[in-house]
Chains A and B, each alone.
Chain A
Amino acid sequence: MRLRNVIVAALVLVLAAGPLATAAVAQGGSIFIPLLVYRTGPYAPSGIPNANGFQDYFNLLNERDGGINGVKIAVEECETQYDTKQGVECYERLKSKAVLINPYSTGITYQLIPKAPGDKVVVHSMGYGMTASADGRWFPWVFNFPMTYWSQASAFVRYVGAQEGGMEKLKGKKIVHIFHNSPYGKEANPTLETLAKQLGFELTLLAVDHPGQEQKATWLQVRKIEPHWIYLSGWGVMNGVAVKEAAGIGYKMDHMIGNWWSGSESDVIPAGDGAKGYKSMTFHAPGAGFKVHQDVIKHVYDKGKGATKKESLGEVYHNRGMINAMLNAEAIRTAMVKYNLKTAPTGEQVRWGFENLNLADAQLDKLGMKGVIRPLRVTCENHEGNGMAAVQQWDGKQWKIVSDWIEPMREVVRPKLEEAAVQEGGEKLKYVKRDCSKEK
């Protein structure tokens, strides 16, 4: 009976004290950047290198430059397990201190888009999230540069056209899109459908249900269709299984192209030699051969502050984390220069910084990022920027860029995107369209 009393008392205490214990530790004067990470759960193999990339780059800024324009950066991780509800909990806990957030999940991005304007928090979904939010007139607080899913899909089609020897050769070709059956996976469908109509290729859409371990039926269909090209929008375990299945049926691996969330080391290594030749889209270079990596080793790893092992530098997702951190930092820097700040900027100021980000080659060179990513320019109308895609190929040991930078078909994508922005922003969220000519 004694034990029971203790239990009851403890339980009441726990229930009452739980949320009370959320008092945030304020860090005086520094720029606070919350990181939603998933170092555990089914998607951890992708989440860990990404989060490490963020940590390493912000550490580098603090160690090498003393932060951004002299103001240190304070990061705090919050574990989401790639789960939407946990992501929202993280956001609610951290938003009072935050000026920007990287949701790192399309599902969480959709949750945060309606909340962000009220909280004055910039949402930067780098290469994921809601494509329509690239129309900055409807979505002032959301950014998805350097590129959207739709631009990516059009770049894929352009690449395939070039490989076939001209866009007109696409007529009658069979292309299969294998996608994760979620908002993320479906994103590329409208663009591919439009282009199929315009260019006359036969498009087949094959959905794979979450989590994507079971793909036997899908690949049976692929065998029947015998497509000329396969586009893969997978995530996590689904990618590895798809690559294995493709190798299993003897599909030409260099005719299977993943999107940029389907092209990391963890997607191809499990398939062994079968994965050799598999390609994926990307918007940045893989590998650790850049100046920024030397800097990270010198200023972070040699001081024992690295987030991972030195050998992991240059992994696709580690690079992507670093680039994401760099873009965040440069947007903040833009804001600090504009408003002449020696302290942490506010959410509104950071938003201005994102919207006026103009990352030229010279600045990239200074950051050691030249060649890692293309110069980028964001405007009020265009929150996707002018990013370009490239194709990388797995040679059995590492990813290598095998194409030039590919310009997406903006003339096809942009009108569709503006249509969708009216639907998502105007009709669903009742936003009012901004007049960009009036923005300074």
Chain B
Amino acid sequence: MIYREAGQFKTTYASDQAIFPILQDRVIVALAVAAAFVVPVALANEYWLQAVLIPFLIYALAALGLNLLTGYAGQLSLGTGGFMAVGAYAAFKITSAFPALNIVLVFLLSGVIAALVGVVFGLPSLRIKGFYLAVATLAAQFFLIWLFNKVAWFVNYAPSGTITAPPRTVFGVMVTGPDASAGARYVAALAFVAVFALVAKNLVRGRVGRSWMAIRDRDIAAEIIGVRPLRTKLLAFAISSFYCGIAGAELVFLYLGSAETLAFDINLSFLVLFMVIIGGLGSVLGSFLGAAFIVLVPIFLTNVPHTAGLALPVALQKQIELMVFGGLIVFFLIVEPHGLARLWQITKEKLRLWPFPH
């Protein structure tokens, strides 16, 4: 009843092509974003922010990046962890070389460096496709991690071989380093995600996104209608790696505080890929839903027996958690192979008909 677009006439091209053509959507999204900035900072405790919301936002950004590449441009990549590591180590090197440089700029620059690396490793995509490309990007993953482990220059010759986020401020507020409050780090992560989600949404609706989808659906046909595969694929790799690079820098600077290469190992690449698949390939919203699923469900499963007063041994609990989590993934992929984003879409369709479904 409330969710009805009747009476909303689109009289200009601009309004017809809006991201959220329905007024209710616009209001809800605007309120949600505003609430996201205000409510958690005011209400959530540090556990919520630090262990739940910040990793969720960072993984969402990484999933968004991979979704652009895999979901929209159809290039399967297992190098996400490696590209995130490039972003993290680049941010560390830049900010330790130029401490006065604003940390936001540092993040953006490290994203650019990750994008360049992504382009280099995207070159094989012109010749190899599908699973074979996945193997080629896997090489990127292993090579980059090996490189950061091997060359002490990347960690400023620290004997421990770890990188640590130094204290940096934005507008006078400490956002990185051990003294930065969880709230400040959360807002910083949220700001990045909000801006880049908007950019991504507009990218995929425009010429670039359409050419990506053309390549994804049938590259030969796309080539015939004038989409240049070289530029399109490399652009997809660049932009995807840019997102992943920023997410990687955030992972160290806003979430972990310090990290070694193990934080970016192959498991991270798989994790982000699972987020994209579960959330929905080729969907901006899906990246967020997938990240939420992968981050929140294990935490929920860990905490449920506790709250219920069940004193299970931790090992058993962990194993149950893994089984249930795995089971849930299989279950969701069976009932909705197109991911959680599709579930949301269906819900929306039904909401428009409610309460008179036909």
Contact = CB atoms under 8 A, between A and B. Distances in A.
A186 B151 CA distance: 13
A40 B178 contact: no
A26 interface: no
Contact of A111 (B160, B258, B306, B307): B258
Interface stretch (A80-88, A286-294, A327-335, A400-408): A80-88
A22 B314 CA distance: 15
Contact of A8 (B177, B293, B322, B347): B347
Contacts of B336: 4, 7
Contacts of B315: 39-40, 44, 48, 79
A107 B299 contact: no
B136 to A, nearest CB: 20
A210 B265 contact: yes
A48 B313 CA distance: 12
B228 interface: no
A19 B47 contact: yes
Given A8-B347, A85-B263, A107-B262, A40 B164 contact: no
A114 B258 contact: yes
B253 to A, nearest CB: 12
B256 A190 contact: no
A22 B47 contact: yes
Interface stretch (A239-247, A295-303, A318-326, A423-431): A423-431
Contact of A118 (B47, B159, B178, B258): B178
A21 B307 contact: yes
B50 interface: yes
Contacts of B55: 85
Interface in B157-187: 158-162, 164, 166-167, 177-179
Contacts of A181: 149
A19 B299 contact: yes
Interface stretch (A9-17, A220-228, A366-374, A386-394): A9-17
B99 to A, nearest CB: 11
Contacts of A428: 158, 164, 166
A110 interface: yes
Contacts of A113: 258
- The list of the 4 closest CB pairs from A to B, nearest first, reads A18-B300, A114-B178, A39-B315, A21-B303
Interface of B: 46-48, 50-52, 55, 146, 149, 158-162, 164, 166-167, 177-179, 256-263, 265, 292-293, 296-297, 299-300, 302-304, 306-307, 313-315, 317-319, 322, 332, 335-336, 340, 343-344, 346-347
15 contacts: A4-B335, A8-B347, A11-B343, A14-B296, A14-B300, A39-B313, A88-B51, A89-B51, A92-B46, A92-B51, A110-B162, A114-B257, A423-B159, A424-B164, A429-B178
Interface of A: 3-4, 7-8, 11, 14-15, 17-19, 21-23, 25, 37, 39-40, 44, 48, 77-79, 81, 84-85, 88-89, 92-93, 96, 107, 110-111, 113-115, 117-118, 130-132, 181-183, 186-187, 189-190, 207, 209-210, 420, 423-424, 428-430
